[in-house]
Amino acid sequence: MTGNIFESEKIKGDFPLLEREVNGKPIVYLDSAATSQKPIEVIDRMTDYYKQINANVHRGAYHIAELATSEMEETRAKVSRFINASSEKEIVFTKNATEAINLVAYTWARSQLKEGDVILLSSLEHHSNIVPWHQLSSERNIEIRWIPITQDGQLDLSSIDELLADVKLLCVSAVSNALGTINPVKQLVDAAHKVGAICLVDACQSVPHFKTDVAELGADFLAFSGHKMCGPTGIGVLWGRLEILEKMPPFLGGGEMILNVTSDGFTTNEVPWKFEAGTPPIAEIIGLGVAVSYLEKIGMEVIREHEQNLTSYALDLLNERFGDDLTIHGPEEAVNRSGVISFSYRDIHPHDISQVLDQYGVCVRAGHHCCKPLMTLLGVNATARASLYIYNGESDIGVLADAIDEVGKIFS
Amino acid sequence: MPGLEDLYKEIILDHYKNPRNQGELPVPPAIMEEGFNPLCGDEVKVYVLTDGDVVKDIRIGGQGCSISQASASMMAESVLDKTLEEAKNLIEKFKEMMSVHESNLDSAELSEDNNENSLGDLQALKGVVKYPVRIKCATLGWNTFDQIIAPKE
């Protein structure tokens, strides 16, 4: 990195996996919306943890246990700063964003929502922000309502006031994992708060790519996963407003989440440990901390700028080269979307597209992207999805386009 | 298409582009079952009309990738006018072929002669085994058909 000039090739050098070949071709990794690759410093730090300071946290009064505990809690503080939370107590470690959303469903929602209440979801949600609410809905007879989408895959807010009537909980993704649409979360949160609803934001596809400021966003809960932001798998984050977290019942029961246990019962630990039963994924938490530092070192504004430019380049190139043969789903302009490019090519099934692309080293996702209700609205069964990140450059888009040409040749 | 010859054989692409026995049958008298591949969103509908113990007619509906579509089309062609017993044997042989581990493909090839008479064109789908993720695509139609003709509890 020199000044503001983004050198994706140099960034690529930080990621050992991107040096490998697939089917004799240099890998072109375009599936970062599913999971990102990991920079060497994350991998090394996790290995060092096991080599140097592996010990259980919050327990042993000996040197390495103290080191492990302080590294873990430093990461909590680092994540808190990263998303501008008001206190590190607002950062709950979970195993992934799915667990974070389920935590809210099982504790806050089951203690607050009753028959006849309404949950409002956007039509762009991932199954992980749909199914927990379906489960609750069938248990409690709670109504689920959907914010519709426009033709170009943006939320249609034209009747948002009617939709918000009697809503107690709004669940919306900051960015659609299937289409890349950037949702007007702040506007939605403000509208939902006016009717007294609580707002949960699925930020899996935004935290790795944009500056996230929970104070500015004004939501009540925000969930994201470590593995999509250069961190390891097995670690996710639930941010919650402290006064809400403090009133919530605990989630899983076990060690760490208690203050005292007697033969008659238990008292819960303070927030956030109240929600973190059992030995946490210590190495993964520490790895997440390194990932946060890595992203901060590059700069979230710089990352967004690079991804928006590259997305714009990709949209232009694909549209020019393939014309009507290729349909890109979602918003037309790069400014309204993340680096997710979901497309259909002729009437060739996405599974076949990705199979042929793999032959050229190109990794894209094919399928419904865990968004079956959205796929139904779009009138497709599945799409192929290329998703970009800091280590992708224009050459990757060129390889993708050449490989799509080869798909066309086989299925002509 | 370097390396993909084993998967996208000519006969498979032909069945994909020109699927045989496509469509629907009135239910009843036909029986219909739906199969899903949650991995890629493929959906197949198999309609079967039996006359005694013979597969009198079979139609394939739904949508999916080239492998699931071609495999279902080839299945329809190969079980039409067969007895249920013969169809069951074919399903078994086909699934057996799909469960051969990639590392045993060469030795499986040696026994091709044994299978050739019974599997015929279906042998073309053997290359799918090299792409484990696609095996479910190839067996989707077969499993759905199996649900129809398997003895009910």
d(CA B36, CA A70): 48
- Domain B10-149 carries which CATH code? 3.90.1010.10
The verdict on residue A3 lying in a domain is no
Of residues B40, B43, B131, nearest to A367 (C-beta)? B40
Domain with residue A212: its CATH number is 3.40.640.10
Residue B104 banded pLDDT, cuts 50, 70, 90:
low
Comparing A74-83, A221-230, B35-44, which segment has the lowest mean pLDDT?
B35-44
- Residue B124: per-residue pLDDT: 81
Mean pLDDT of A59-86: 95
Q: Which of A199, A230, A370, A371 is flagged as catalytic?
A: A370
- Residue A84: per-residue pLDDT: 98
A127 and B CB contact within 8 Å: no
Q: Is it the case that residue A208 has pLDDT exceeding 90?
A: yes
Digit-coded pLDDT (tens) for B10-56: 888 888 888 899 999 998 999 999 998 877 678 899 999 998 899 89
Query: 3-state SS of chain A?
Result: CECCECCHHHHHCCCHHHHCEECCEECEECECCCCCCCCHHHHHHHHHHHHHHCCCCCCCCCHHHHHHHHHHHHHHHHHHHHCCCCCHHHEEEECCHHHHHHHHHHHHHHHHCCCCCEEEEECCCCHHHCHHHHHHHHHHCCEEEEECECCCCCECCCCHHHHCCCEEEEEEECECCCCCEECCHHHHHHHHHHCCCEEEEECCCCCCCCCCCHHHHCCCEEEEECCCCCCCCCCEEEEECHHHHHHCCCCCCCCCCEEEECCCCEEECCCCHHHCCCCCCHHHHHHHHHHHHHHHHHCHHHHHHHHHHHHHHHHHHHHHHHHHHEEEECCCCHHHECCEEEEEECCECHHHHHHHHHHCCEECEEECCCCHHHHHHHCCCCEEEEECCCCCCHHHHHHHHHHHHHHHHHCC
Measured between CA atoms, the residue of chain B closest to residue A351 is: B65
Across A35-49, A371-385, B57-71, B81-95, which has the greatest mean pLDDT?
A: A35-49
State whether A111 and A165 are in the same domain: yes
Percent of chain B with pLDDT over 90: 25
- Residue B117: per-residue pLDDT: 54
Digit-coded pLDDT (tens) for A327-343: 999 999 999 999 999 99
A135 and B CB contact within 8 Å: no
- Residue B152: per-residue pLDDT: 64
Overall number of domains in chain A: 2
- Residue B113: per-residue pLDDT: 46
What is the 8-class DSSP label of residue B22?
A: B
Q: Which residues of B touch A410 (CB under 8 A)?
A: 1, 4, 8, 13
Measured between CA atoms, the residue of chain B closest to residue A408 is: B1
Kindly determine whether residue A349 and residue B13, on different chains, have CB atoms separated by under 8 Å: no
State whether A247 and A325 are in the same domain: no
- The pTM for the full model equals 0.90
The verdict on residue A38 lying in a domain is no
- Residue A2: per-residue pLDDT: 42
The verdict on residue A321 lying in a domain is yes
Mean pLDDT of A222-237: 98
Percent of chain A with pLDDT over 90: 88
| Domain-wise residue ranges, chain B | 10-149
CA distance B2 to chain A (A): 7
- Substitution target in A131, A352, A364, A402 with the highest count of B β-carbons within 10 Å is A352
Mean pLDDT of A5-26: 91
Query: Which residues numbered 13-42 in A keep a CB inside 8 Å of some CB on B?
Result: 23
Of residues B4, B41, B134, nearest to A375 (C-beta)? B41
State whether A234 and A361 are in the same domain: no
The verdict on whether A370 is a catalytic residue reads: yes
- Residue A4: per-residue pLDDT: 47
State whether A346 and A288 are in the same domain: no
Of A297, A332, A354, the residue that ends a domain is A297
State whether A303 and A287 are in the same domain: no
Q: What is the span of the domain harbouring residue A338?
A: 8-30+299-410
Comparing A158-162, A223-227, B87-91, which segment has the lowest mean pLDDT?
B87-91
Kindly determine whether residue A382 and residue B8, on different chains, have CB atoms separated by under 8 Å: no
Residue B110 banded pLDDT, cuts 50, 70, 90:
very low
Average pLDDT of the residues of chain B: 83
Q: Is it the case that residue A401 has pLDDT exceeding 90?
A: yes
Q: Is it the case that residue B64 has pLDDT exceeding 90?
A: no
State whether A243 and A167 are in the same domain: yes
d(CA B53, CA B41): 33
Of A249, A266, A297, the residue that ends a domain is A297
- Residue B105: per-residue pLDDT: 55
d(CA A348, CA A412): 9
- The interface pTM score, or ipTM, of the predicted complex is 0.81
Average pLDDT of the residues of chain A: 94
Of residues A349, A351, A356, nearest to B1 (C-beta)? A356
Nearest to A394 by CA among A326, A285, A287, A318: A318
Comparing A27-41, A64-78, A341-355, B129-143, which segment has the lowest mean pLDDT?
B129-143
Of A248, A266, A297, the residue that ends a domain is A297
Q: Is it the case that residue B63 has pLDDT exceeding 70?
A: yes
CA distance A301 to chain B (A): 35
State whether A277 and A314 are in the same domain: no
State whether A236 and A343 are in the same domain: no
Measured between CA atoms, the residue of chain B closest to residue A25 is: B2
Kindly determine whether residue B134 and residue A351, on different chains, have CB atoms separated by under 8 Å: yes
Digit-coded pLDDT (tens) for B140-152: 999 999 988 886 6
B54: three-class secondary structure by DSSP: strand
Measured between CA atoms, the residue of chain A closest to residue B44 is: A381
Mean pLDDT of A178-184: 96
Mean pLDDT of A48-64: 92
